[in-house]
Chain A
Amino acid sequence: DAGVIQSPRHEVTEMGQEVTLRCKPISGHNSLFWYRQTMMRGLELLIYFNNNVPIDDSGMPEDRFSAKMPNASFSTLKIQPSEPRDSAVYFCASSSGTGVIVTDTQYFGPGTRLTVL
């Protein structure tokens, strides 16, 4: 089975530009997570969807960040406008949790390395 798929794998953009990161979860998984990894803050959750509905977006840094999950097989994380401090690796993960509180194993995609100049 295919794992979590993320695109692009690398993105270099200039400050002020819009960036869209994409994720396809593992088929059959109903929970999807966006994490960000930086040297300073480590791995931190940005937002979590259950059955395509955003459940917890408390980790989204500010209004410049938005995430959508229009269907069970696709999610996007958008940054507009991007800033140099957004440079990080963004991971998408999915799991097959059956409830709002998810304790099943989260499987991660390969990540998108974002560089904002």
Chain B
Amino acid sequence: AQKVTQAQTEISVVEKEDVTLDCVYETRDTTYYLFWYKQPPSGELVFLIRRNSFDEQNEISGRYSWNFQKSTSSFNFTITASQVVDSAVYFCALNPDQAGTALIFGKGTTLSVSS
């Protein structure tokens, strides 16, 4: 079965705290792609990152970093020194190579950053 689990439904932090959003996926494919999207209160879905299953290097982009571990089927997302503008729903998604086209989304984690 192809599945994405985001066990954290809601997280609340205070500005400048670091926060990690967890993502665990299931797939039998050897080639697959993982994504993170951000959905701010305005409602649009903003692409953050795409990783393929053969690239386990961690990625850092400003305050954002991603940790991909195939051994634990996890693709976690860390925001360093969180800001109020980071408040949003964050979705992890899986695109298994052999399953066609659909992005399989997790249920999302709502992050609230207070000042």
Chain A interfacial positions (CB closer than 8 Å to B)? 31, 33, 35, 42-45, 48, 50, 55-56, 59, 89, 91, 93, 97, 100-103, 105-111, 113
Contacts and interface: CB of A to CB of B under 8 A. Distances in A.
B102 A56 contact: yes
Nearest to B44: A110
Interface stretch (B18-26, B70-78, B93-101): B93-101
B50 A105 contact: yes
A106 B97 CA distance: 14
Interface centre among A44, A97, A102, A107 (most CB of B within 10 A): A102
Interface centre among B95, B107, B108 (most CB of A within 10 A): B95
Interface string B72-115: 00000000000000000001000101101111011110000000
Nearest to A35: B103
29 contacts: A33-B102, A35-B103, A42-B107, A43-B103, A44-B105, A45-B102, A45-B103, A48-B101, A48-B102, A55-B101, A56-B101, A56-B102, A59-B102, A89-B43, A100-B101, A101-B100, A101-B101, A102-B95, A102-B100, A103-B33, A103-B95, A105-B47, A106-B47, A107-B47, A109-B44, A110-B42, A110-B44, A111-B43, A111-B44
B64 interface: no
Interface of B: 33, 35, 37, 42-47, 50, 52, 91, 95, 97-98, 100-103, 105-108
Nearest to A111: B43
B36 to A, nearest CB: 11
A111 B107 CA distance: 18
A33 B101 CA distance: 9
A3 to B, nearest CB: 9
A59 B104 CA distance: 12
Contact of B97 (A103, A109, A111, A113): A103
